Structure formats: structure tokens, C-alpha cells
Amino acid sequence: MSPASFIHRYEPAAAPDRAPLLLLHGTGGDETDLIPLGRALSPGAALLSPRGPVLENGMPRFFRRLAEGVFDEADLRRRAADLAGFVREARASYGLAAPVAVGFSNGANIAAAVLLLHPEVLAGAVLLRAMVPLAEPPAADLGGKPVLILSGRSDPIVPAANAARLAGMLAEAGSSVTHEVLPGGHGLMQADLVRAQAWLAR
């Protein structure tokens, strides 16, 4: 079975001791978008980078939304299951260990949904500018999986309280959560790279 369910890019590991990274782009990105970030975050790690299968005004996303910050939760649940299936196929096809998701914005939101709905699929996650994905998530057991959430203090899209609620939700599910609020907005900054690099190196 080949991981043909998503258009994607795969870079094999040059440093097999490093956890593979599952790179999940933001709205309007594609499978090439976060490859440079993945290389910088964990040099030599295997990189698996799918393209979001949903189009919004021609821009790829991982699931539908009804308005900014308002998610189509039925679609999100279905797309999270599809993404979990893709990761399983890719692991079998490429011989990978469970990956650590690195998601930005829309990609971070689907990564959070996969953690809550299909916790066995990911080894952990770096969630950049993530929001609470599901109003009523199932009772998940994240068994100490490490999660780093990096929020922007002046992010116009993700309210600080929402990101804090996500951190609490994941911690309640048993995850080992680190949540940092950085000066800045919704875009990624050097500080995100430095924090995420150090966290992944641990």
C-alpha cells in the first residue's frame, strides 16, 4: 500500500536517530512550504509533508471552515481520520517511526485534532499558532506525549485564551505540554525556530 492518498513530499532521514517530522502547512501553503523549516528544526530527520486536500478560494487547507476561527467540525473529524490513515500508510511504505507533527496555523489545528482523535498516530507535536480544534473532544489518552505550543502575543487570529485552553485540554488528556507565548503576531519568527529546535533536540 503506497501513501498515495495525499499529494506529498518525502525526504528520507540522513540522521536515522532523529524522529521523523510530519510537516503540516498553513492555509495557502503546499507540500514544499515547510520543508526548509523541517530541515532547520531537525537536521537529518526524515520529512513527510502532505498537501492539504481542501481548497478554499484556490488555497489548500487541511479541513473546511465556516468563517475565520469557526471550523466545520464534521469535516475536521473526517479529514483528521484521513490524515491519520495517510501517516499509517507512509510509515509502512517508508519504514518510519511515529512522527512528530510540526504544524503551522491550519496545519497546527489538524495536528491537534489528530492528537485528540487518533493519539496513537503521532509521537508528539510542535503546534505553531494553534487553536482549540474541537468544541467537545473525545476523552483521549495521550500518555505523556510531548507537545510544544507556541503562540503570538498579538496574534489577531488566535486569542491568547483559546491557545491556553488548548494547552489545558491536551494536558488533561495526559500530554506533557509546554506552552509559550512569544512577542509577535500570527506569522512565524526566528524565536519560534529557536524554541522549537531546542525542544526537539531534547
Q: What is the CATH number of the domain that holds 159?
A: 3.40.50.1820
Q: Confirm whether 1 is domain-assigned.
A: no
Per the structure, the complete domain to which residue 30 belongs is given by 8-201
Q: How many domains does the chain have?
A: 1
Residue 150 lies in a domain: yes
In this prediction, residues 41-67 reach a mean pLDDT of 96
pLDDT exceeds 90 at position 19:
yes
Catalytic residues: 105, 155, 186
pLDDT tops 70 at residue 2? no
2 in a domain, yes or no? no
**Residue 81: per-residue pLDDT:** 97
Structure confidence by residue, pLDDT tens digits, 105-151: 999 999 999 999 999 999 999 999 999 999 988 889 999 999 999 99
Residue 3 lies in a domain: no
Checking if the pLDDT of 64 tops 80, the result is: yes
CA torsion, points 171, 174, 175, 177, in degrees to nearest 10?
30
Amino acid 1: pLDDT:
44
29 belongs to a structural domain:
yes
Contact 33, 25 (CB under 8 A): yes
Asked whether residue 157 is domain-assigned, the answer is yes
> Is 104 strand, coil or helix?
strand
